[in-house]
Amino acid sequence: MTRKSWLGTIVLVASATAYSTAGFFTRLIPVDAWTLLFWRGLFAGVFISAIVAVRYRGRLARTIRAMGWEGAVVALCSAVATVCFLNAMRLTAVADVMVIDAAIPFVTAALAWAILRERESIWTLAATMAAFAGMAIMAGPAIAQGRALGDALAFAMAALMALVIVLIRRKQGVDMTPAVCASAFLCSLIVAPFAAPLAVDARAFGLLALFGVSQFGLGLLLLAIGTPMVSATRGALIGTLQTPLATLWVWLAFAEAPAPLTLVGGAIVLAAVLADMLPYSRGRDAPA
């Protein structure tokens, strides 16, 4: 693996780690989902805006023009995917959403080939299949309870996030941070009619600020930075680390021991992502 690929891998692992704290924060913050999304998006947008303002003093307009139509699509798709994810979690089994989320690397591989003509290595595709199997094992007991119409929203979320990853990868020479910043603000705008942003106390407000900056803002920022450095499919594969890590944080913080199958499936996902790094470190990267 090249130095650039290693750096991208580390950044994306950090992004997945930031995203994985969502369950931890939602347990701590006693507000409805729409209000939580509103403040999370607003604080994330302000956080990334500050970074963009410092980095691109006097050059912001040129940077936005360089993103082209891809930047606008990334902002829109990322925001809509977040809203789809929320409603999918409300309308269908969490297990269904987990398994569909694990399919993002497959959708990404297909879009990367169609749009970028980027052929993934056999090793990474095998690791992707292993990660999908691990997620299915984690969700297996809950899936048996049945599914709901929200599955369609989960599929939409998966397709939109795959497109976001591919388009960021397409603009490798352009910083897409302003696009993900816009997506955070757009998410707040979309949910604003359903939220009650003033109905939060001081403690909840502080936690919402921390949630928006450390989970959503940092996760988006690192995603925009790391995605161009690795293949699209590999970036999506690393993103599957969110689910087992989320289970770990809730277990450690709230003493909610996961089911044995959840532990087994999470271990498989983690092993798949780690195993994917091995052939690159040895210089083997055979396209499928």
pLDDT of residue 131: 79
pLDDT of residue 92: 64
What's the pLDDT tens digit per position in 151-189? 788 788 888 988 999 999 888 888 899 999 999 999 999
pLDDT of residue 45: 95
**CA atoms 157, 159, 163, 169: torsion sign:** positive
Task: Check whether 282 has a pLDDT greater than 50.
Answer: no
Query: Apex CA 271: angle with CA 265 and CA 272, to 5°?
Result: 90
Q: Between 277 and 157, whose confidence is greater?
A: 157
What's the pLDDT tens digit per position in 192-217? 999 999 989 999 999 999 999 999 99
pLDDT interval class at 149 (50, 70, 90): low
Which of 39-53, 97-111, 167-181 has the highest average model confidence (pLDDT)? 39-53
pLDDT of residue 212: 93
* Predicted TM-score of the model (pTM): 0.82
Q: Between 111 and 144, whose confidence is greater?
A: 111
CA distances from 61 to 26, 172, 178, 223 (A): 36, 18, 10, 22
Task: Check whether 286 has a pLDDT greater than 50.
Answer: no
Residue among 144, 147, 130, 146 nearest 264 (CA): 130
Task: Check whether 88 has a pLDDT greater than 90.
Answer: no
Task: Check whether 240 has a pLDDT greater than 70.
Answer: yes
Please state, as a whole number, how many other Cβ atoms lie within 10 Å of the Cβ of residue 23: 20
Please state, as a whole number, how many other Cβ atoms lie within 10 Å of the Cβ of residue 83: 21
Task: Check whether 137 has a pLDDT greater than 80.
Answer: no
pLDDT of residue 284: 45
CA distances from 215 to 19, 103, 149, 200 (A): 5, 22, 28, 19
Q: Are 151 and 100 in contact (CB under 8 A)?
A: yes
Q: How far apart are CA 11 and CA 229, in angstroms?
A: 9
Task: Check whether 287 has a pLDDT greater than 60.
Answer: no
Q: Are 34 and 194 in contact (CB under 8 A)?
A: yes
Percent of the residues in the chain that have a pLDDT greater than 70, as a whole number: 88
Q: How many CA atoms lie within 13 A of 287 on its CB side?
A: 6
pLDDT of residue 115: 85
Q: What would the two tokens of residue 5 be?
A: 């690929």
